[in-house]
Structure 1
Amino acid sequence: MLSLPALNVEPPAVLSQLLARADVRFNGTRPWDMRVHDPRLYRRLLTQWSLGAGEAYVDGDWDCERLDLLFERLLRTDLDRTAPPAARLRLLLEGLRQRLFNLQSVARAHQVGERHYDVGNDVFEAMLDSRMIYSCGYWEHAQDLEQAQEHKLAMICRKLELRPGETLLDIGCGWGGLARYAAERHGVAVTGVTISKEQLALAEQRCAGLPITLLLQDYRSLRGRFDKIVSVGMFEHVGLKNYATYFDTARRLLAPAGLFLLHTIGVDRRTPHTDPWIERYIFPNGKLPSPAELGGALEGCFIIEDWHNFGLDYDRTLMCWAERFEAAWPRLSARYDAAFRRMFRYYLLSCAGFFRSRQGQLWQLVLSRPERGGVYRSFRPAAAPSS
Structure 2
Amino acid sequence: MADAASRLANLAEELLGGPLPVRLRAWDGSEAGPAGAPVLILRDRRALRRMIWKPGELGVVRAWVAGELDVEGDLYEVLDRLSGLLWERDGDSPGLFAAARAPRLRAAARSLLRLAGPVPPPAPPAEEVRGRSGGRHTRRRDRQAISHHYDVGNEFYELVLGPSMVYSCAYWTPGGTLEEAQRDKLDLVARKLDLKEGDRLLDVGCGWGSMALHAAREYGARVVGVTLSREQATHARKRIAEEGLTDRIEIRVQDYRDVTDGPYDAISSIGMAEHVGAVQYREYADVLYGLLAPGGRLLNHQISRRPEPDEAAYAIDPFIDAYVFPDGELAPMGRTLTTLEDAGFEVRDVEALREHYALTLRRWVANLEADWDRAVRLVSPGRARVWRLYMAASAVSFERNRIGVNQFLAVKTPAPGTSGLPLRTRAWTEGTD
Q: TM-score range by the shorter chain?
A: 0.7 to 0.9
Q: Cα distance 1:261–1:14, how it changes in 2: closer, same or farther (>3 A)? A: farther
Residue 122 of structure 2 is matched in structure 1 by: none
3-state SS of 2:387 partner: helix
Q: CA deviation at 1:151?
A: 0.8
Which digits, 9 at most, give the CA deviation of each residue in 1:127-152, with x for residues without a partner? 11312000011113551101110111
Residue 123 of structure 1 is matched in structure 2 by: 156
Residue 98 of structure 2 is matched in structure 1 by: 84
Separation in structure 1 between the aligned mates of residue 20 and residue 170 of structure 2, nearest angstrom: 29
Separation in structure 2 between the aligned mates of residue 138 and residue 245 of structure 1, nearest angstrom: 29
**Greater Cα offset, 333-342 or 25-34:** 25-34
Separation in structure 1 between the aligned mates of residue 197 and residue 5 of structure 2, nearest angstrom: 66
Which residue of 364, 383, 388 corresponds with 1:345? 388
Residue 217 of structure 1 is matched in structure 2 by: 254
Q: Is the 8 A contact 2:9 2:24 kept in 1?
A: no
Q: Which residue identity does 2:21 align to in structure 1?
A: D
**Rg: which structure is higher?**
2
- Report the TM-score, using the length of structure 1 for normalisation: 0.87
Residue 327 of structure 2 is matched in structure 1 by: 285
Q: Is the 8 A contact 1:31 1:69 kept in 2?
A: no
Residue 45 of structure 1 is matched in structure 2 by: 51
Q: Is the 8 A contact 1:7 1:35 kept in 2?
A: no
Q: CA deviation at 1:341?
A: 2.4
Separation in structure 2 between the aligned mates of residue 161 and residue 22 of structure 1, nearest angstrom: 53
**In the alignment, is residue 34 of structure 1 matched against residue 40 of structure 2?**
yes
Which residue of 68, 76, 89 corresponds with 1:68? 76
Q: Is the 8 A contact 1:76 1:359 kept in 2?
A: no
**Greater Cα offset, 131-140 or 190-199:** 131-140
3-state SS of 1:135 partner: coil
Separation in structure 2 between the aligned mates of residue 160 and residue 21 of structure 1, nearest angstrom: 52
Instruction: Supply the RMSD in Å over aligned alpha carbons.
Output: 2.7
3-state SS of 1:48 partner: coil
**Greater Cα offset, 226-235 or 132-141:** 132-141
Which digits, 9 at most, give the CA deviation of each residue in 1:318-357, with x for residues without a partner? 1111111122233344343322222221122111111111
Which digits, 9 at most, give the CA deviation of each residue in 1:228-284, with x for residues without a partner? 000001000000000110000000001111110000111122461221011111110
Residue 153 of structure 1 is matched in structure 2 by: 186
- Report the TM-score, using the length of structure 2 for normalisation: 0.78
Residue 300 of structure 1 is matched in structure 2 by: 342
Residue 56 of structure 1 is matched in structure 2 by: 63
Q: Cα distance 1:21–1:229, how it changes in 2: closer, same or farther (>3 A)? A: farther
**Greater Cα offset, 224-233 or 290-299:** 290-299
Q: Cα distance 1:11–1:36, how it changes in 2: closer, same or farther (>3 A)? A: same
Q: CA deviation at 1:107?
A: 2.1
**In the alignment, is residue 192 of structure 1 matched against residue 262 of structure 2?**
no
Q: CA deviation at 1:30?
A: 4.6
Q: Cα distance 1:76–1:212, how it changes in 2: closer, same or farther (>3 A)? A: farther
**Greater Cα offset, 64-73 or 239-248:** 64-73
Q: Is the 8 A contact 1:166 1:188 kept in 2?
A: yes
Number of aligned residue pairs = 369
Separation in structure 2 between the aligned mates of residue 52 and residue 382 of structure 1, nearest angstrom: 50
Residue 243 of structure 1 is matched in structure 2 by: 281
Q: Is the 8 A contact 1:171 1:234 kept in 2?
A: yes
Q: Cα distance 1:383–1:74, how it changes in 2: closer, same or farther (>3 A)? A: farther
Q: Is the 8 A contact 2:47 2:69 kept in 1?
A: yes
Q: Is the 8 A contact 1:172 1:194 kept in 2?
A: yes
Which residue of 114, 130, 133 corresponds with 2:166? 133
Residue 409 of structure 2 is matched in structure 1 by: 366
Separation in structure 1 between the aligned mates of residue 431 and residue 17 of structure 2, nearest angstrom: 43
Q: Cα distance 1:172–1:373, how it changes in 2: closer, same or farther (>3 A)? A: same
Q: CA deviation at 1:381?
A: 3.8
Report percent identity of matched pairs.
33
Structure 2 spans left out of the alignment, 5+ residues: 26-32, 90-94, 103-133
Q: Cα distance 1:51–1:289, how it changes in 2: closer, same or farther (>3 A)? A: same
Separation in structure 2 between the aligned mates of residue 314 and residue 69 of structure 1, nearest angstrom: 18
Q: Cα distance 1:21–1:349, how it changes in 2: closer, same or farther (>3 A)? A: farther
**Greater Cα offset, 320-329 or 232-241:** 320-329
Q: CA deviation at 1:79?
A: 2.6
Q: CA deviation at 1:39?
A: 3.9
Q: Which residue identity does 1:299 align to in structure 2?
A: E
